[in-house]
Amino acid sequence: MPAKNDRADEGGTPTKSEQTRALILETAMRLFQERGYDKTTMRAIAKEAGVSIGNAYYYFDGKEHLIQGFYDRIAAEHRVAVREVLARETDLEARLAGVLKAWLDIATPYHEFAVQFFKNAADPDSPLSPFSPESEHARVEAIGVHKEVLTGAKTKVPEELRDVCCPS
């Protein structure tokens, strides 16, 4: 999700602003892995990324918003990673297995530090919760992938499931 009013140019090349945002996010993910979520500060992230603390806060209102950026990024990576399996497979089991395997492949590098912020995400009032309003973009992406799994399967999907996942 682009930062405040930032867009790639017409050729799709990320703007300097988008590059800065991505640098801050990548730096945060690395520091979360190295130091842990709770021990990583916005100040440390900014310093390591080579930006001012004000610049870091311009792109991300806080650590929770960095996690939202992470959720959005892996949701987008997952969407790209499943294209081939969804285009190739029509069997529901193969489609679902392919989507789940792609998710595991994408999430594996983050396994160590993910445990730390998932503890915070378990709190339903936390902005890190996958069910929070802040997580809506990534949640919608994930639901969209699973709708594609069902709608493209040759397997007959029960009516009540089809109505829940894929209303006409």
Q: What is the pTM of this model?
A: 0.69
The runs of H, that is alpha helices, within 50-135 are 53-59, 63-81, 83-88, 92-107, 111-121
CA dist 138 and 24 (Å) reads 19
pLDDT (0 to 100) of residue 154: 84
Average pLDDT value for the chain: 82
Q: What is the rounded radius of gyration, in angstroms, for the C-alpha atoms of the chain?
A: 18
pLDDT (0 to 100) of residue 167: 53
pLDDT tens-digit series, residues 7-39: 444 556 879 999 999 999 999 988 988 888 888
* Residue of 138, 145, 130, 110 whose CA lies nearest to 26: 110
pLDDT tens-digit series, residues 124-143: 777 777 788 888 888 888 88
